[in-house]
Chain A
Amino acid sequence: MSGISIRSLHKSFGKVEALRDINLEIDQGEFIALIGPSGCGKTTLLRTCLGLERPTKGTVLLGGQDAVAARKAKDLGIVFQKPALVPSRTSLSNVQITLDITGVKDHLDPNNLLEEFGLGSFKNHYPHQLSGGMQQRVNLAAAMVHNPHYLMMDEPFGALDEMTREMMCEWVGDVLLRQPKTVILVTHSIDEAVMLADRIVILAPRPGKIDTIVPVDLPRPRRRSLKTTTEFSNYVMDVRRQLYAVEEARGAA
């Protein structure tokens, strides 16, 4: 089983309480989007799931083990907003690094993966020669090549323009249909959350806590054209209302 189990998680930085009593059970292969106003601790929550931050109280279990064990099992892939590529290595070599480090035997072929990601003719390009969208695709390839069970993304498309962002969303959805993973996505974009997630977790700020969870019951594969449907708009409206409520509650407090 490779679900994620977050139980009464608290996280403080000194006197600042970042997360309070987070409880969330994520199923194997489920796609969770974390959304909320800035300062709601969504990045902290993601980093705690990755073991980059230690919980102050409570536990995060990935398939029954803690994050460090998942790390040792080479079972994590990450994508941040800023592409984390080595500037002195080509696309292919940047994907290859993951394999060099993890030494995973049962991996995907980096060449095929890049071709599949539409980068067939950019394998030998250096990061600075690629567009932002291409760099993020290299990053995703590098995060998936070792076949991890978990994929964590922190605003992966935040720096991209609207059209590229839409295409990347569609495309990530497709990739995950072929290679299912348990995914946590931190995002600012409601559209992106509805487009990708099985459940959208709305966080309230200061301290960060779970406000509402919105299940998204839309069929897959989800295409861009979905955005023009009433169903999609209803989800977006629903999430937006919840977010406004969160903001207003904070204003009143």
Chain B
Amino acid sequence: MISERWSYVLMLVSIPIIWKLISLASGLQAFILPSPELVFVTLFEQWRTFLYHTGITLAGAMTGYAISNAFAIAVAILFVYVPSTQNFLMPWFVVMKNIPFVTIAPILVITLGQTPLPKVIIVFLVTFFPLLANVAAGLRAADKGLLDRLTVLDASKWQTFWKVRWPAAIPYYMAAHEVAFTGSIVSAVVAEFFFSRSGLGYLIVTAMDSYRADILYSVTLIAGILGVGNYLIVVWLRKRVLRWQADSLSASG
């Protein structure tokens, strides 16, 4: 059987070939379906531009994502240790979670203007809830017998948290991160669709206006590389951090 590593290589080789075949067979024009070599040339020639806009998008996404992580972990801890806070905050969260973020984006942009702030807020709104739900579930998933054992040993709340609850939450946290990180890139790009002057989302909007399909494809490739890169980092982390685990959890959120 073919190993996973070689399957990846095979896929990387196949994509441009299939792409080229489709563009030849369909006879579509370059402004609708650019050939792979045209996209690679565009990426190569304008790499500074792409790098700049990718940096803008990543900066916004990562700022929002970092804030989101900090808040999600803090609120999850609050929920587990002061359960009444959950009852109080849940209605707010349910509403915030269920308003589609694409409808909030324009509102934030007209309110806050051309600052990175709307982007950061949208990334936060999109990534906060899956992280919160998973980390809280992970903290609660701590073995009851183990918690009793620590109680009987007169452990402090601090000791119980670091020795039992937090380790129990890590697999859940990593599963949530795998999903939420991609979400942070997606939401940052979408936020940039509205009135922004930089970022991958801005590139997409201008490319649409000028029929530059090669740029659209380039941006897609870049976004794909970011997503896959994160996935590979998560896989690597999981192997390192969760080496004690019999089988790893699959993503949820």
Taken together as a complex, chains A and B put the C-alpha atoms of A52 and B154 apart, in Å, by: 11
Binds A, one of B49-57, B63-71, B142-150: B142-150
Complex contact B153–A86 (CB within 8 A): no
Instruction: Say yes or no for A51: interface residue by CB 8 A criterion.
Output: yes
Asked, given contacts A82-B145, A87-B244, whether A101 binds B164 with beta carbons under 8 Å apart, the answer is no
Central interface residue in B153, B159, B245, by most chain A CB within 10 Å: B153
Interchain residue pairs A-B with the least CB separation, the first 10: A84-B145, A126-B244, A84-B146, A128-B246, A80-B145, A71-B154, A84-B149, A101-B155, A88-B167, A88-B244
Instruction: Say yes or no for B1: interface residue by CB 8 A criterion.
Output: no
Complex contact A76–B153 (CB within 8 A): yes
Complex contact B164–A74 (CB within 8 A): no
Asked, given contacts A80-B145, A84-B145, A86-B167, whether A51 binds B152 with beta carbons under 8 Å apart, the answer is yes
Instruction: Say yes or no for B163: interface residue by CB 8 A criterion.
Output: yes
- By the criterion of a CB under 8 Å from any partner CB, how many residues of chain B are at the interface? 20
Taken together as a complex, chains A and B put the C-alpha atoms of A86 and B155 apart, in Å, by: 15
B240 to chain A, nearest CB (A): 12
Asked, given contacts A71-B152, A72-B154, A74-B154, whether A101 binds B163 with beta carbons under 8 Å apart, the answer is yes
Instruction: Say yes or no for A85: interface residue by CB 8 A criterion.
Output: yes
Enumerate 19 A-B pairs (CB-CB under 8 Å) in ascending A order.
A74-B153, A76-B152, A78-B152, A80-B148, A80-B149, A83-B145, A84-B145, A84-B148, A84-B149, A86-B146, A87-B167, A87-B245, A88-B242, A97-B163, A98-B153, A101-B155, A102-B153, A102-B154, A128-B244
Instruction: Say yes or no for B46: interface residue by CB 8 A criterion.
Output: no
Which A residues, 65 to 121, have Cβ-Cβ distances below 8 Å to chain B?
A: 71-72, 74, 76-78, 80, 82-89, 97-98, 100-102
Instruction: Say yes or no for A194: interface residue by CB 8 A criterion.
Output: no
